[in-house]
Structure 1
Amino acid sequence: MSRTVHELDRTEDVRAALANPHLVPELPPAAEAWDPLPERSESLGEGASMAWLRATVPRFSSGETHARRRALVEAELRRVDPAELRRAVASRPGAAETDVRIRVVATLAEALGLREPDAVAEAVTVVAGTYFGGTDPAADAAVAELVGLVLGKESAGKEGAGKEDEMEVAAGLICLLVQACDATAALVRHATPAGGVSAGGAVGPAEAVRAGAAGAAGATGGADAAAGVGAGAAVGVDTAEGAGTAVAAPRVGATASPDATGGADGAPRAVTAPRADTAPRADGGVCGVGGPLVEEVLGETLRWDPPVRVLRRVAVCDTRVGGREIAEGEVVVLGIAGAGHGEAGGSLAFGAPPRECPGREHALALAAGILAPGPRTSFARLHHRDTPLLLPNAWDYASAAALVADGFEAVGTTSLGVAAAAGLPDGVAVTAEATLALARQLGGGHFLFTVDAEGGFSDDPAQVAELARQLRAAGAAGLNIEDGRGDGTLAPAELHAAKIAAVKAAVPELFVNARTDTYWLGCRQDETEARLMAYQRAGADAVFVPGLSDRTRIGALTARLDVPLNILYTPDGPGLAELAALGVRRVSLGSLLYRTALGAAVAAARAVRDGRHPAGGGSTPSYAEVQTLSSGADQDRRSDRRSDWRSDQRSG
């Protein structure tokens, strides 16, 4: 049997077709007769099959039946917080070695409260292969297994209407999971370099996504979207038709045999997508998109290179769309990829009312959780915990050693302390040598430390990158660079972003904490968020706003940022616990300890002069204790010299 196929790709025509109640998704061909209410034997899922699933899910329903089934799915989604979903998928154990599809489905299944989420995920991958057509006894068995896992044995006693209702709920949940499978993996793959999740984890700005995808945007979709969610809408129920194939649909008015477009029903053949495994990084961290905001990358991907490129509808009665008469039974192919180019954020990729994907936010959360930069080093991981990293700032080897000996996991340096110790002013780019010298001393002690390098001691990004190389070679785990200048003004955000990008390109493993001095200098505070976003897009691993203590503004920033927010502790500002509750992930002490030490030294001298005992008592370290602190570095230096001597002897 041949059918006329109409192609629509203008945005207004595609929207009109999606809103037309007489154009409905086409039910894939059933391989066997379907019993609308399968009898339950000893196995909870007995009688459930691919044919039953297709006939029961919202995806292939229409009219009042579709509305009822969609409402069931929406109720399930309301129980799942997208933000929690994003965190869960990002931190899922073994994520680096897990197939993206398994990772997505298991995370969603767990969030929905299902038993054995890993077993659910394995079964869903089998079902996804034939969801849009075809037969597979293994898929039928997997559907039956999923019904049991979704409903649980406590539901086994229900009969009649109660049984039918619970089976409809089960089908809706399976629909969510199946449609979360291949399409979300495809979205992740399309949003990363070379079409895959790379070990390097780096991707260019969102504009690069557009440029790279534009050439492919006109092509028919591939196997990526076999699970059939609109542009990777991981938990959509209505929006996709399966993958497109390399075979184009006939032009309007032409006729085609059922096999012309690859499927027995005229739909594009649903080809099983290749695995979209994440590649483990050398440090075992999560591979991720670096540089631009994850949301921007996803938005550009959905707009220019969506995993699902076409949607198919069949007319249930004569109708009219885009100035064309469409007869009952004729097929309409909607070019979502082309029509979406004019839609910011690729909105058509998730369909349109009344069949718009209700899981858009959940879909993007799952993809963002996989793509977002994960902590790559031990120092970076300190910024991704529920408790903020309290970072004390040292000014010499002994102060750093004392802090580490007292249990602090990492230390920073204080540019004021370094400058003052050298008799130089802070913030005017004259302490580069002293800063490097301290970094080399701290590196000899094997401390986990980060360096405050003012503005990088140069306005040349290449020179700042060279400084970063030298600091990393000295042993630094991180670098703090600020946009404030010694004259009380702010450097252009574009220049500071260029410095950040240059450092990350030169030394990717160096943790860059990008500081804006809008509050510290009390100027242009309305630019704070825009500057932080620009620095985040440039590749900053964290951002720092010293001088900001307003709780509402801190909370607003943590809600918007993808990277950790660093706040400077002030005695009259929020405490550590309150900052943690606001979402702050790093709290620096800045020059507080150095200034406190200066004050204590003067107070001790004054007390002796005035005939009193100095305050401090047992908190003042003994001569021997200070000797012990510094002897570690001396032993390391002697060991390094012996190693250098042996190397020279071998090379000579």
Structure 2
Amino acid sequence: MSSQTRIADRAAVSAALADPALTMPRVPDGGPASGIRWLRRSVARFADGAEHDRRRRQATGLLAEVEPAGLRRLAAERTCAALEVIGGGPFDLMARVARVVPIDALVVALGMPPVPADVVTAVAKAYQPGTGAEEPADEAVARLVEAFGGVPDEPTAARVGLLVQTCDATAGLVGNAALAMLRADGERSVDAIVAETLLHDPPVRMTRRRASDTGAVVEIDLATGGCPFGAGPHQCPGQDHATAIAAGILEPVRGYALVNPQVQYERSAALRVPTELLVTR
């Protein structure tokens, strides 16, 4: 195996995501007691085996308290309220809705203390090792830990991790689905639009694993491989919640129009998220 391999074939992608010989790449040591490196070392996302299973149960236990249908209604209500404040003039759907409503809706549904969406975004920018500056992320993680009781333990990390993993992925799903909806004619249901977006323009494009025998990095193409929420032990536990939030946001956005159909995307090998989506009523 070369130092880096890419897997894109559908059958091979599913097999790779379930292969116990392909483990999560190691995350860096060190850092503040409640910083970004602590968060990576304390969530299920970057763990394997029994450690992963224990931490995943903490996250799924939180999600089990939230009914997706209720989360969808909450997302729709929050979107309607945001649109009312914004008015009918041109605005950036990404900044004003897609990057705010998913976090706010999940915080309310989970009974968490209010947290600013931009703080969660600051953590998300550096969540994957090597993708962003750690110092602002350290400060943002510390703020979230303090908001959730001030104890940097695994239950706190599970709460922070849920918000962080909701942040970019759900914003990308909302943005890509909104773009498809506003570009197209017809009256397809928002559920159909979300489902088609996950098939053809998913927000999460790639994940990495490490071959335990050679240490080689393996890139797994989730988009081409038809696994928008992953598969195997690390399959996203919140896929029903993410699609519910996206559908709840899209319904109030019907009837808006794109100001500029040419869209730029954030620079990322793993994510496809519009940087800006200018719309008007």
Tell me which interval the TM-score lies in, with the shorter structure as reference length.
0.7 to 0.9
Task: Please state how far the C-alpha of 1:375 moved relative to its aligned partner.
Answer: 8.2
Number of paired residues? 240
Confirm or deny that 1:135 pairs with 2:133: yes
**Structure 2: how far apart are the matches of 1:143 and 1:311?**
23
Task: Please state how far the C-alpha of 1:101 moved relative to its aligned partner.
Answer: 1.2
The alignment's TM-score, normalised by the length of structure 1, stands at 0.35
Q: Residue in 1 aligned with 2:274?
A: none
Q: Secondary structure, in 3 states, of the residue corresponding to 1:314?
A: strand
Task: Please state how far the C-alpha of 1:358 moved relative to its aligned partner.
Answer: 1.2
**Structure 2: how far apart are the matches of 1:202 and 1:9?**
30
Q: Residue in 2 aligned with 1:75?
A: 61
Q: 1:8-407, aligned counterparts within 5 Å?
A: 8-30=7-29, 33-34=30-31, 47-92=33-78, 94-96=81-83, 97=86, 98-117=96-115, 119=116, 121-133=117-129, 134-151=132-149, 167-193=153-179, 202-204=182-184, 291-316=187-212, 318=213, 328-340=214-226, 348-373=227-252
Whichever residue aligns with residue 332 of structure 1, its letter is V
Whichever residue aligns with residue 12 of structure 2, its letter is D
CA contact (8 A) 2:17 2:230 kept: yes
Residue 375 to residue 202, structure 1, CA distance change in 2 (3 Å)? closer
Whichever residue aligns with residue 207 of structure 2, its letter is L
1:152-182 deviation per Cα after TM superposition (whole angstroms, max 9, x unaligned): 6xxxxxxxxxx6xx71011011111011111
1:466-510 deviation per Cα after TM superposition (whole angstroms, max 9, x unaligned): xxxxxxxxxxxxxxxxxxxxxxxxxxxxxxxxxxxxxxxxxxxxx
Q: Residue in 2 aligned with 1:530?
A: none
**Structure 2: how far apart are the matches of 1:335 and 1:143?**
29
Which is greater in Rg? 1
**Structure 2: how far apart are the matches of 1:204 and 1:375?**
11
**Structure 1: how far apart are the matches of 2:206 and 2:13?**
10
Task: Please state how far the C-alpha of 1:34 moved relative to its aligned partner.
Answer: 4.5
**Structure 2: how far apart are the matches of 1:303 and 1:27?**
30
Greater relative contact order (Cα 8 A, min sep 6): structure 1 or 2? Answer: 2
Higher helix share: 2
Residue 351 to residue 375, structure 1, CA distance change in 2 (3 Å)? closer
Task: Please state how far the C-alpha of 1:58 moved relative to its aligned partner.
Answer: 0.7
CA contact (8 A) 2:10 2:225 kept: yes
Q: 1:447-596, aligned counterparts within 5 Å?
A: none
Whichever residue aligns with residue 190 of structure 1, its letter is N
Task: Please state how far the C-alpha of 1:183 moved relative to its aligned partner.
Answer: 1.4
Residue 354 to residue 375, structure 1, CA distance change in 2 (3 Å)? closer
Contiguous gaps of at least 5 residues in structure 1: 36-46, 153-162, 196-200, 206-289, 319-327, 341-347, 377-652
Instruction: Kindly report structure 1 stretches of 4+ aligned residues shifted beyond 3 Å.
Output: 27-30, 373-376
Task: Please state how far the C-alpha of 1:374 moved relative to its aligned partner.
Answer: 5.6
**Structure 1: how far apart are the matches of 2:39 and 2:182?**
40
**Structure 1: how far apart are the matches of 2:159 and 2:26?**
18
Task: Please state how far the C-alpha of 1:75 moved relative to its aligned partner.
Answer: 0.4
CA contact (8 A) 2:45 2:234 kept: no
Whichever residue aligns with residue 102 of structure 2, its letter is V
Q: Secondary structure, in 3 states, of the residue corresponding to 2:233?
A: coil
CA contact (8 A) 1:101 1:185 kept: yes
Whichever residue aligns with residue 123 of structure 2, its letter is V
**Structure 1: how far apart are the matches of 2:252 and 2:138?**
38
**Structure 2: how far apart are the matches of 1:349 and 1:148?**
33
**Structure 1: how far apart are the matches of 2:23 and 2:125?**
22
**Structure 2: how far apart are the matches of 1:202 and 1:60?**
36
Q: Secondary structure, in 3 states, of the residue corresponding to 2:160?
A: helix
CA contact (8 A) 2:98 2:175 kept: no
Q: Secondary structure, in 3 states, of the residue corresponding to 1:354?
A: helix
**Structure 1: how far apart are the matches of 2:20 and 2:203?**
25
Residue 304 to residue 375, structure 1, CA distance change in 2 (3 Å)? closer
Q: Secondary structure, in 3 states, of the residue corresponding to 1:337?
A: coil
**Structure 2: how far apart are the matches of 1:83 and 1:177?**
19
Whichever residue aligns with residue 337 of structure 1, its letter is A
Residue 136 to residue 29, structure 1, CA distance change in 2 (3 Å)? same
Whichever residue aligns with residue 124 of structure 1, its letter is V
Contiguous gaps of at least 5 residues in structure 2: 87-95, 256-281
Task: Please state how far the C-alpha of 1:29 moved relative to its aligned partner.
Answer: 3.7
**Structure 1: how far apart are the matches of 2:147 and 2:6?**
41
The alignment-based identity, stated in percent, is 41
